[in-house]
């Protein structure tokens, strides 16, 4: 446990760090290279590799876009080419890199070194490229309730590029893979995501073909993630057992200044942080990750990075890499990057805005409004279909972002609430209002149809700058932004769920449009009808007001929108056959995979909370209570001395009493919490409910008494770094 000395040293160290300078890549003339000159140097590129013949390159591109399988013969050529490329660059090992259900990534390294006829050579065999067998028993697999064999294998995903990671003393080739059990169940995040993406492609393509877009043969889901994080000096971090054990502060008084002045957001980036961001961008660019924006976020010590969007699967992998690189580069600058959704009470938490759209094979963004009435009808139907999907599957979407950490953001009056609603902005809302209230609409008459002006829709939307930051799911000009996703989330999971919902509604929409057209309707009329159908049905999910206000909670309840406040509640969607039916019917998940996910995610929720409780209890007993007792001892000595001189000591006595009361309450509540934790028993679901409904609120009471004690104990007797130091000193 930290001592006063640790805290004092952290203050000195954090403010005296030398700025880290790095070697910027230079060309042969000694001039700094442009980003475009080193961009992607650590990813293996099929398109530019000279060791891959043209016919193989073609097959790979075809396989990547059609989802078919590469021949073993051609895979062998790739294996050789990538081995040469990686070992030329100094790689000694390769690994199958995958996303298990824990949310992070996993890798098991093998050396390229092979002994052949007594000779040492570098080699990656075709079977090593195509398939691996990590010991699956240690990965979360849902425990005994799952009926299938939990052992599994990894298999190469050639749609996501292979890349090199650099550690201080060598490089490793990472091969993105899926992770599947021997009985075919997805044990990872990627597999359902890939299924969902191809399902969206099929359903949306069919719809577009029906409404006259005959040349569309494929639709991609595009994703761009804005990643938020905190940076604090490493010495503060290591002096806070709660940050080390749980990723968030379990107790702490807010500093007098936090984010009230709004002076941090988009403010000047401090040099030490800038140095970090520059190195981060350098590393990401070398990895072919198009990092684009960097800025301060709302809370002190909080920052954001966003790359340019790409295909969902690539973006999901890249976001994992971004999180890992943020952490490793931060460490080089003596920072610790905190990705937790709610590291500090009382100031904003961190989210990940997942920008979502679809683009057809000619690169046209389906959420881009067009210049003519027909294009706009198609655009409006797209928005209506997305709105219906979110309305219909709001519970499942809430489930997809559920985690112990994200519960602190959702509905905490400073983040989107756990009620899933859709923000459309002024223009679209006006149009949908007209449609909803049954204004006489005709597809032929663009002007009366859109009183707001069909032709100018594109311009109107561009001007639509009243971005509502409080909405969990917002239309922002030419994409939707799923803002309720947590900062540590593996985006593949919520995106799979969103995609499944979209695919389901697209299928129904295509069926509907097809029968309308068969019955003689024009394409435009059919589009207008399907738009009207969904707008009328899903109208209650559209909300443009302040999502942080308590009025909205009441209003949403009146509208009948679900509000799953805790993860314990939200995760039950996975085992609710009715709510999760679409996930199975669209083929994105198997029923057994949903059951397994319930076990893994609920178990994880329970374990994380239990770690928080035990960390909190030990911090109270070992740090907070002793600090309070030390102060009581000081006070009582003074009081006694004063009394021996027959002097007044009302102030000291008053403080003593207050402290005594806070300490007694703290002690009693901590004992209560401890006893309830010890008495926890039941199945996963029962324990989750108890944690969410009883234990977690109890722990919040303990935290509030800790804050009271911290407020009373003098600075010189308080061993834990304070919010004001962690957030402001660097």
Binding site for Mg ion (CB under 5 A): 353
User: In the complex, what is the shortest distance from the CB of residue 292 to ligand ADP, in angstroms, rounded to a whole number?
Assistant: 7
Q: Are 450 and 430 in contact (CB under 8 A)?
A: no
Query: What's the closest the beta carbon of residue 543 comes to Mg ion, in angstroms?
Result: 18
Which of 61, 308, 331, 581 binds ligand ADP (CB under 6 A)? It is 308
Q: Which residue has the tokens 């006063």?
A: 4
Residue 387's binding partner out of Mg ion, ligand ADP, none, with CB under 5 to 8 Å set by partner kind? none
Cα gap 484→183, rounded to integer Å? 34
Closer to Mg ion by Cβ: residue 353 or 395: 353
- Return all residues near 431 (Cβ < 8 A) that are at least 6 apart: 380, 450, 452
**Is residue 228 a contact point for ligand ADP (CB under 6 A)?**
no
Q: What token pair was written down for 110?
A: 């093998």
Write the DSSP string, 267-310: -PPPHHHHHHHHHHHHHHHHTT--EEEEEE-SSTTEEEEEEPPE
Binds 589: which of ligand ADP, Mg ion, none (CB < 5-8 Å by kind): none
598 binds, among Mg ion, ligand ADP, none (CB under 5 to 8 A by kind): none
308 binds, among ligand ADP, Mg ion, none (CB under 5 to 8 A by kind): ligand ADP
Binding partner at 504 among Mg ion, ligand ADP, none, C-beta below 5 to 8 Å by kind: none
| Interacting residue with ligand ADP among 42, 128, 222, 350 (CB under 6 A) | 222
Q: In this chain, which of 306, 502, 510, 556 binds ligand ADP, going by CB under 6 A?
A: 306
572 binds ligand ADP (CB under 6 A): no
Out of 77, 136, 173, 223, point to the residue binding ligand ADP (CB under 6 A). 223
309 binds ligand ADP (CB under 6 A): yes
Map residue 339 onto helix, strand or coil. Answer: coil
Does residue 358 sit in helix, strand or coil?
strand
> Exposure pattern of 376-395 as b/e (b: 16+ CB <10 Å)?
bbbbbbbbbbbbbbbbbbbb
Residue 265 to residue 259: CA distance in whole angstroms: 9
Total binding residues toward ligand ADP, as defined by CB under 6 A? 16
Kindly indicate which of the ranges 104-112, 180-188, 472-480, 508-516 contains the residues binding ligand ADP, using the contact rule CB under 6 A: 472-480
By CB under 6 A, residue 352 contacts ligand ADP: no
Beta-carbon contacts of residue 630 (< 8 Å; ≥ 6 apart): 713, 717
**Residues with Cβ within 8 Å of residue 666, at least 6 apart in sequence:** 620, 624, 625, 628, 702, 705, 706, 708, 709
Q: How far is the CB of 453 from ligand ADP (least distance, A)?
A: 23
Among 357, 471, 509, 698, binds ligand ADP (CB under 6 A): 357
| DSSP 8-state class, residue 607 | H
Q: How far is CA 445 from the centre of its chain?
A: 43
Site string for ligand ADP, 261-300 (x = CB under 6 A): --------------------------------x-------
Measured between its terminal Cα atoms, the distance across the chain in Å is: 23
Determine the interface stretch with ligand ADP among 117-125, 275-283, 304-312, 502-510 (rule: CB under 6 A): 304-312
Contact range with ligand ADP by CB under 6 A, out of 117-125, 177-185, 352-360, 507-515: 352-360
Q: Is 362 in the site for ligand ADP (CB under 6 A)?
A: no
316 binds ligand ADP (CB under 6 A): no
CB of 275 within 8 A of CB of 289? Answer: no
- For ligand ADP, the nearest residue by Cβ is 224
Look at residues 458, 434, 445 and name the one whose alpha carbon lies nearest to residue 522. Answer: 445
Strands, E, within 123-184: which ranges? Answer: 131-132, 152-156, 163-167, 170-181
Report yes or no: 414 and 548 within 8 Å, Cβ to Cβ: yes
Q: C-beta of 469: minimal distance to ligand ADP in Å?
A: 9
Given the complex with ligand ADP, which of 484 and 620 has the nearer CB atom? Answer: 484
Residues making contact with ligand ADP (CB under 6 A): 222-224, 226, 293, 306-309, 355-357, 365, 476, 478-479
């Amino acid at each position: 446990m930290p001592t006063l000395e640790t805290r004092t040293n952290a203050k000195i160290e954090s403010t005296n760090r030398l700025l880290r300078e790095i070697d910027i890549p230079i060309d042969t003339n000694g001039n700094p290279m442009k980003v475009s000159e080193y961009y992607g140097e650590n990813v293996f590129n099929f398109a530019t590799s000279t060791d891959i013949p043209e016919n193989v390159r073609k097959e790979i591109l075809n396989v990547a876009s059609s989802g078919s399988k590469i021949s073993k013969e051609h895979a062998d050529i790739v294996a050789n080419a990538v081995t040469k490329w990686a070992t030329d660059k100094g790689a000694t090992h390769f690994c199958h890199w995958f996303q298990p259900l824990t949310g992070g990534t996993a890798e098991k390294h093998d050396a390229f070194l092979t002994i052949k006829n007594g000779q040492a050579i570098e080699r990656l065999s075709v079977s090593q490229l195509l398939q691996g067998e990590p010991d699956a028993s240690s990965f979360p697999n849902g425990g005994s309730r799952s009926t299938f064999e939990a052992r599994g294998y990894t298999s190469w995903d050639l749609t996501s590029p292979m890349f090199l990671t650099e550690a201080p003393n060598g490089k490793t080739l990472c091969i993105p893979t899926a992770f599947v059990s021997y009985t075919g169940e997805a044990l990872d995040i990627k597999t359902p995501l890939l299924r969902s993406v191809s399902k969206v492609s099929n359903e949306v393509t069919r719809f577009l073909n029906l409404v006259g877009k005959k040349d569309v043969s494929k639709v991609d889901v595009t994703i761009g993630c804005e990643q938020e994080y905190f940076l604090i000096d490493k010495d503060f971090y290591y002096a806070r057992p709660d940050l080390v054990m749980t990723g968030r502060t379990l107790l702490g008084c807010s500093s007098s200044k936090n984010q009230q002045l709004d002076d941090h957001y988009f403010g000047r980036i401090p040099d030490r942080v800038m140095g970090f961001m520059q190195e981060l961008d350098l590393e990401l660019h070398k990895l072919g990750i198009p990092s684009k924006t960097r800025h301060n976020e709302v809370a002190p010590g909080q920052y954001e990075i966003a790359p340019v969007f790409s295909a969902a699967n690539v973006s999901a992998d890249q976001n994992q890499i971004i999180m890992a690189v943020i952490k490793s580069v931060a460490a080089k600058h003596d920072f610790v990057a905190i990705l937790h959704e709610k590291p500090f009470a009382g100031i904003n938490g961190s989210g990940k805005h997942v920008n979502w759209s679809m683009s057809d094979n000619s690169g046209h963004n389906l959420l881009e409004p067009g210049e003519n009435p027909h294009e706009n009808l198609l655009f409006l139907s797209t928005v209506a279909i997305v709105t219906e999907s979110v309305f219909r599957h709001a519970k499942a979407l809430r489930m997809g972002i559920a985690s112990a950490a994200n519960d602190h953001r959702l509905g905490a009056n400073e983040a989107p609430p756990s009620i899933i609603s859709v923000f459309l902005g002024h223009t679209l809302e006006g149009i949908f209002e007209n449609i909803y209230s049954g204004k006489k609409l005709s597809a032929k008459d663009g002007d009366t149809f859109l009183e707001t002006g069909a032709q100018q829709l594109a311009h109107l939307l561009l001007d639509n700058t009243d971005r509502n930051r409080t909405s969990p799911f917002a239309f922002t000009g030419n994409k939707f932004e799923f803002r309720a996703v947590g900062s540590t989330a593996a985006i593949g999971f919520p995106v799979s769920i969103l995609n499944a919902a979209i695919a389901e509604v697209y299928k129904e929409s295509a069926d509907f449009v097809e029968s309308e057209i068969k019955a003689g309707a024009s394409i435009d009329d059919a589009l207008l009808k399907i738009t009207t159908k969904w707008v009328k049905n899903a109208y209650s999910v559209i909300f443009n007001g302040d999502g942080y206000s308590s009025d909205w909670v009441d209003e949403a309840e009146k509208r009948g929108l679900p509000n799953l406040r805790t993860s314990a509640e939200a995760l039950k969607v996975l085992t609710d056959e009715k709510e999760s039916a679409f996930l199975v019917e669209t083929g994105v998940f198997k029923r057994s995979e949903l059951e397994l996910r319930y076990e893994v995610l609920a178990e994880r929720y329970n374990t994380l909370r239990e770690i928080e409780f035990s960390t909190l209890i030990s911090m109270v007993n070992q740090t907070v209570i002793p600090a309070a007792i030390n102060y009581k001892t000081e006070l009582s000595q003074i009081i006694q001395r004063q009394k021996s001189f027959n002097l007044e000591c009302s102030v000291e006595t008053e403080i003593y009493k207050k402290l005594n009361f806070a300490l007694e309450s703290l002690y009693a509540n901590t004992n209560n919490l401890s006893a309830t934790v010890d008495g926890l028993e039941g199945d996963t679901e029962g324990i989750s409910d108890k944690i969410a409904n009883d234990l977690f609120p109890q722990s919040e009471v303990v935290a509030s008494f800790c804050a009271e004690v911290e407020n009373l104990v003098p600075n010189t007797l308080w061993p834990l770094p304070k919010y004001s130091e962690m957030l402001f000193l660097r």
